[in-house]
Amino acid sequence: MEKWKEKYKNGERTSAYSLIKELTSIKRKQFPWMGRIGKTSPQYAIHNLEKAYKNFFGKRANYPKFKKKGIKDSFVAVENKQSFKQKDKRIWIPRLGLVKCAENLRFDGKVNNVVVKRIADIWFACINIETNDTPNISKSQTILGVDLGIKYLAVISDGAYFKNPKALERNLRLLKRRQQSLCRKKKGSNNRGKAQMKIARLYYKISCIRRNSLHEVSRYIVNNANKIVLEDLNVKGMIKNKKLSRSLNDVSFGELRRQIQYKANWEGKEVIVADRFFPSSKTCCICGAIKENLKLSTRIYKCDCGNNICRDLNSAINLANYGITQKSWESKASGVGSSFDFQSSLTMKEEMFLFKNKET
């Protein structure tokens, strides 16, 4: 990074390939320890640096920072299919040889690279694979509306309810106790390191609970619908409510929407994002009457037409009705939705291998 900044100040044009060439010429004399690691690790680090500067100058990210040891540790171990070896629950890592892993690779295709990373002192190998899978053409014409919430993570218009696991809330008391224990440890001591690892393990457990529930919900929705209608929620505005901010962040509406969108594209199905000001909760799904004054605490929707229904289910049914006359999400304004690359998602899959697992 310092070399890149130096060349930039001197007005020299540089690139990742020029720095890699320069590093190769001097590493034997100035950095002899680099002979003990694979060549792909420093090369990909320079490529990542180049990408970080491009994102900075393109105003897509902040100025690049040095990577700190112990935080998001990762390196590229294998860069192509020729040097990739994995069988019998073992994976080949340069300079380490065959390392035990938890499972075998489930997908066939071209291996682009293998990234080894550490999460809470558990090592994973993330294998990026390019497959030749083609989207399945769904014969079902079912339209499902999805209402998102806090008590129920998702309520589907077909009557399915998915409870919110509340991963953070259920572990918040234990998390506070472990953080208090960390504060009592002397900085730099081994006991402080052990306390930090306990907190990291707990955070990882919370993320796994949340991610598992999101995958269950998104898979059910994609499997049972040909057209999916989602809400366009203003999450940034919603989390400004101090009473709901923690619960909203714990639910992860944005991640659920992203998963539904990329899985629907894998299956060749349509995703519609309803207009942000569409009154799905205030509208009666039977007669179409709109209640202007509907409080958030009102969980049962009662209409003068005799309709007595759960508020969330009423909203989901209205979203499904909204999707009957609307075009697919992909044909709407480009400013709506996630920045996920849908075209590449049709051919790219990622597999994670567990290297080492310790009891928390």
Catalytic residue (one of 79, 147, 270, 351): 147
Tens digits of residue pLDDT in 284-340: 888 888 888 888 888 888 888 888 888 889 888 888 888 887 654 333 433 333 333
Higher pLDDT, 322 or 217: 217
Provide the percentage of residues in the chain whose pLDDT is more than 70: 88
Active site residue 2: no
Name the band, by pLDDT with cuts 50, 70 and 90, for residue 34: confident
Average pLDDT, the chain: 82
What was the pLDDT predicted at 332? 41
Edge-to-edge strands, sheet with 86-87 = 86-87, 90-93, 97-100
First to last CA, the chain: 37
Q: What is the pLDDT of residue 359?
A: 38
Annotated catalytic residue, options 250, 270, 312, 351: 312
158 is catalytic: no
Q: Give the tens place of pLDDT for each residue, 160-169.
A: 899 999 999 9
The angle at the Cα of 15, spanning 10 to 16, to the nearest 5 degrees, equals: 130
Least confident of 214-218, 224-228, 344-348: 344-348
Distance CA 250, CA 7 (A): 44
To the query of whether residue 231 is one of the catalytic residues in this protein, the response is yes
For the ranges 39-53, 176-190, 198-212, 339-353, the lowest mean pLDDT is seen at 339-353
For residues 99 and 44, give the distance between their C-alpha atoms in angstroms, rounded to a whole number: 22
Cβ contact 150:248 at 8 Å:
yes
Q: Where are the beta strands (DSSP E) in 243-297?
A: 270-273
Q: How far is it, in rounded angstroms, from Cα 329 to Cα 351?
A: 28
pLDDT at 140: 66
- Report domain extents, the chain: 2-57, 143-326
Query: Would you state the pLDDT for residue 69?
Result: 82
Reading the block at residue 31, the tokens are: 């950095």
Q: What is the mean pLDDT of residues 177-200?
A: 93
pLDDT: which is higher, 2 or 256: 256
CA–CA dist 261, 329 (Å, integer): 9
Which of 231, 250, 270, 351 does the annotation list as catalytic?
231
* Per-residue pLDDT reduced to its tens digit, 224-243: 888 899 988 888 888 888 88
| Separation between Cα atoms, residue 238 and residue 186, nearest integer Å | 39
What does the alpha-carbon distance between residue 303 and residue 205 come to, in Å, rounded to a whole number?
Answer: 43
